[in-house]
């Protein structure tokens, strides 16, 4: 059994047709068909049923692809590392982050890192890749070893993943300037239930915590809109579409633009999880940046205390 046959099988599972698999592998369709035939013959299994010109994976194919994907995950990590070493040497840092911390917090932390390095010549600024993605995609990239580390929400199972809590903070209520609730320093559940609410998506863990907290007070949300991202909640609140509850780190970026930020009288936690590839030693650059991130988090928390007085 040759590697090319395994690669062809994986391409067929990903694309569903010999034509698309041939395009992906940059070979001819007959070469794909012949490679699949050899694999099925050697394995003594039927991996695809031919139905109306389509290839339909058999249960045996579905079972096999899981094992093959695990092999290719390791190969993807090797390819990523070779590419980094070739193009940037050891001075590359690749980060995957969900939007709550990726749009404002990490750029602030990177600016702090840059300022530190500028004071330490001839220390070289690393080539940085910051990919702002959903928590699911962050977890996928970390699992494949395609980045140095990631930050994500606490909405996905993390069994077998090297992780720790980077930040855990009480959510804050956000609203436009001039809103009826803006005159209060702390918003109660009953007040929140009386206004149009911009919610995070139903599957979001913090939304579940909020709804549970409100239910214990006998009230529920009057949801006018929902979105997966705290930044979108803040933008909509800023434009007068309602109020929302978000991670306070995200709210900081919008307070400078006039968004009103208030405490909620019940505690609804937002957690940011740091995830690391299990078999990867962090570079000195990444370790240094994590220290800068923790310092930036402390600075942001000080700003929040002032904002919420």
Domain count of the fold of the chain: 3
Looking at residue 89, what is its pLDDT? 43
pLDDT band at 78 (very low <50, low <70, confident <90, very high): low
Average pLDDT score, the chain: 88
Looking at residue 91, what is its pLDDT? 65
Average pLDDT over residues 86-90: 45
129 and 186: one domain? no
Looking at residue 155, what is its pLDDT? 87
> pTM for the whole thing?
0.69
pLDDT digits (tens, 9 = 90+) for 176-222: 999 999 999 999 999 999 999 999 999 899 999 999 999 999 999 99
How far apart (Å, rounded) are the C-alpha atoms in residues 14 and 24?
10
Residues in the chain: 309
Domain that holds residue 146: 90-168+272-297
Alpha helices in the chain (DSSP H): 3-15, 18-25, 29-43, 59-88, 99-102, 105-118, 135-143, 189-192, 205-215, 230-238, 248-255, 284-307
149 and 290: one domain? yes
pLDDT digits (tens, 9 = 90+) for 215-239: 999 999 999 999 999 999 999 999 9
The strand pairing partners of 57, in sequence order, are: 48
Looking at residue 135, what is its pLDDT? 94
The strand pairing partners of 130, in sequence order, are: 95
Looking at residue 82, what is its pLDDT? 59
Are 233 and 200 within 8 A, CB to CB?
yes
How far apart (Å, rounded) are the C-alpha atoms in residues 224 and 303?
30
Inter-axis angle of helices 59-88 and 3-15, nearest 10: 110
183 and 248: one domain? yes
How far apart (Å, rounded) are the C-alpha atoms in residues 286 and 130?
13
Q: Is the pLDDT of residue 87 over 50?
A: no
Are 204 and 175 within 8 A, CB to CB?
no
15 and 143: one domain? no
146 and 290: one domain? yes
How far apart (Å, rounded) are the C-alpha atoms in residues 19 and 34?
13
Looking at residue 257, what is its pLDDT? 92
CA 47 to chain centre: 34
Residue 220 lies in a domain: yes
């Amino acid at each position: 059994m040759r590697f090319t046959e395994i690669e062809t099988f994986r391409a067929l599972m990903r694309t569903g047709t010999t034509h698309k698999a041939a395009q992906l592998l940059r070979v001819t369709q007959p070469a794909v068909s012949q490679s699949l035939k050899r694999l099925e013959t050697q394995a003594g299994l039927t991996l695809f049923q031919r139905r109306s010109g389509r290839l339909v994976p058999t249960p045996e194919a579905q079972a096999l692809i899981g094992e093959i994907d695990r092999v290719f995950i390791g190969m993807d990590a090797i390819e990523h590392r070779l590419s980094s070493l070739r193009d940037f040497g050891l001075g590359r840092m690749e980060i995957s982050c969900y939007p709550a911390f990726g749009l404002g917090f990490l750029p602030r932390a990177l600016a702090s890192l840059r300022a530190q390095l500028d004071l330490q010549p001839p220390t070289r600024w690393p080539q940085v890749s910051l990919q702002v993605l959903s928590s699911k995609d962050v977890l996928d990239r970390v699992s494949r070893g395609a980045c140095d580390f990631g930050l994500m929400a606490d909405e996905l199972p993390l069994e077998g993943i090297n992780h720790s809590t980077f930040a855990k903070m009480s959510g804050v209520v956000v609203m436009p300037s001039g809103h009826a609730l803006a005159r209060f320093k702390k918003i109660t559940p009953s007040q929140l239930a009386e206004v149009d609410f911009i919610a995070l998506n139903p599957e979001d863990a913090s939304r579940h915590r909020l709804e549970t907290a409100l239910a214990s007070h006998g009230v529920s949300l009057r949801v006018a809109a929902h979105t997966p991202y705290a930044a979108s909640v803040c933008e909509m609140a800023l434009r007068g579409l309602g109020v929302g509850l978000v991670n306070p780190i995200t709210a900081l970026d919008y307070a400078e633009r006039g968004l009103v930020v208030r405490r909620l009288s019940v505690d609804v936690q937002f957690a940011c999880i740091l995830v690391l590839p299990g078999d990867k030693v962090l570079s000195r650059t990444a370790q240094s940046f994590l220290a800068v991130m923790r310092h930036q988090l402390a600075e942001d928390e000080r700003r929040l205390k002032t904002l919420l007085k």
